[in-house]
Structure 1
Amino acid sequence: TLIQKRWFHLAGSKESSAYLVEGFLSYLSNLSADLHKHVVNCIDINHNTVLHYAISYNNMDVANAILNTNVSNVDQSNAAGYSPLMLAALTVVPTDSNRDLLKKLFTLGNVNAKSTDSTGQTPLMLAVGHGHLETVNLLLSNARCDVNVQDADGSSALMCASEKGQANLFIFLFVVSFVVLLFHLLCCCF
């Protein structure tokens, strides 16, 4: 549709302006709540939403504008099997300016969702595999993040760290896994 093309042109490029995106979203919201939600979540031929592109291009201002609508489906998988949350775990290095946005994204989305590609990896596994220690820490600060989820090969995030030679992440995840196990044992026994 024409609106969809305009939306991807306006908000789905490296040079997209958060100011213009916010204005367009405000206009749509005033027109129709249903249209607003539909446009925010519309997908292109590769099943990407504009949020996928904003995250991929590290355009955190546009990503924040989209998240602030409170209607964005942050768990929408693209044709490659990745949600915006997974792309953030893969590509975004936390900084002072985007840390709050990442926390919000990780809170809104399913941090234990597996990619729909053949690997079935979670955002935590993707961050571990790329050595993003601070992203791993942000994911684990979300109480719902499960360090023991396994991918299609039966590997957990701890095993991914070992396979990728990420010694610091391996030690960190080993300690976290031990604490989780200890917590479960204490809860069951007392």
Structure 2
Amino acid sequence: MSDEGIGAEETTLIHAAITGDSGAVKGALVLEDVNASDTDGWTALHIASRNGNAEIVHLLLSHPTIDVNVKNRWKSTPLMIAAGSGNLDIVDLLLKHPRIQVDAQAEYYGRTALIEAALKGHLPVAKTLVAHGANVNATDKTGRNSALVEAIKNHHVNVATYILRSGLVDFSSHDLRLQALIWAGNRGGDVLRAELDAAISNFFRRRQRAAS
């Protein structure tokens, strides 16, 4: 999410999150709205999640009125930002919150946290999200870009291979199947193309067995 930037009109809490001052965060939480945002919709939780500050994220998540799924101007949640930044420890903390929405979509592009992780090549984050139930078949607003397609498009063979071997990819959509095949043909290399062909064959083989 490189096109996103922190706006103006900082609260004391937001400033403390930017500077990484956990003591100031504790003090500000007594007086200020934990979900207050700047002019671009960035909350302290967004900022701490992007910066990888686990101590501050923990403090914010401990607040009873925290909105863990709050969206900024670009409609991105803290989980999406942490996933796209590769901050695994922050992703772990956010996923433990009882109100987390792992498959929330950013309204700007329509990406989920898993798509963000796949696009940036953050394999440990992708594995953690899938382990917590993230939908590997979710797509962005175009309906053509899933986590698998984004991993292939951006040359992240390890992420694409992991998703393919998970056995969770639904290849019944002709458009998504075609997108994966086209991008694998252009950028995937022989090994990834072989993995994709095998995964597609296995999917339809399982489907045929289930129908018989």
Q: CA deviation at 1:10?
A: 4.5
- What is the rounded CA distance, in whole Å, between the counterparts of 1:121 and 1:151 in structure 2? 10
**Which structure ranks higher in relative contact order (CA pairs < 8 Å, sequence separation ≥ 6)?**
1
Distance 1:59 1:8, change over 3 A: farther
Give the counterpart letter for 2:139 in structure 1: K
Show the counterpart of 1:133: 157
Alignment RMSD (CA, Å): 2.6
Please say if residues 21 and 62 of structure 1, whose CA atoms lie closer than 8 Å, have aligned partners that are also in contact.
Answer: yes
Structure 1 residue 151, shift from structure 2 partner: 3.9
- Structure 1 residue 12 corresponds to structure 2 residue 36: no
Give the partner amino acid of 1:9. A
- Deviation at residue 175 of structure 1 after TM alignment: 1.5
Q: Percent identity?
A: 22
Partners of 2:54 and 2:149 lie apart in 1 by 30
Is residue 123 of structure 1 aligned with residue 147 of structure 2?
Answer: yes
Whole-angstrom distance in 2 between the partners of 1:93 and 1:57 = 8
Q: Given that residues 104 and 113 in structure 2 are in contact (C-alpha distance below 8 angstroms), is that contact kept between their aligned partners in structure 1?
A: yes
Answer whether contact 1:121 1:150 (CA < 8 A) is retained. no
**Structure 1: runs of 5+ lacking an equivalent:** none
CA deviation digits over 1:68-126, x for unaligned, max 9? 114211222221221111101111332xxxx3x4323124222111111x363111111
Tell me the CA shift for residue 150 of structure 1: 4.1
Task: Tell me the TM-score normalised to structure 2 length.
Answer: 0.70
Question: Which structure has the bigger radius of gyration?
Answer: 2
Counterpart selection for 2:71 from 26, 43, 46: 43
* 1:18-37 mapped onto 2 (5 Å cutoff): 18-26=54-62, 28=63, 31=64, 35-36=65-66
Quote the Cα distance in structure 2 between the aligned partners of 1:128 and 1:168. 12
Is 1:91 equivalent to 2:120 in the alignment? Answer: yes
- Number of aligned residue pairs: 174
Question: Which residue of the other structure, out of 87, 90, 102, is the alignment partner of 1:62?
Answer: 90
The residue aligned with 1:103 is 127
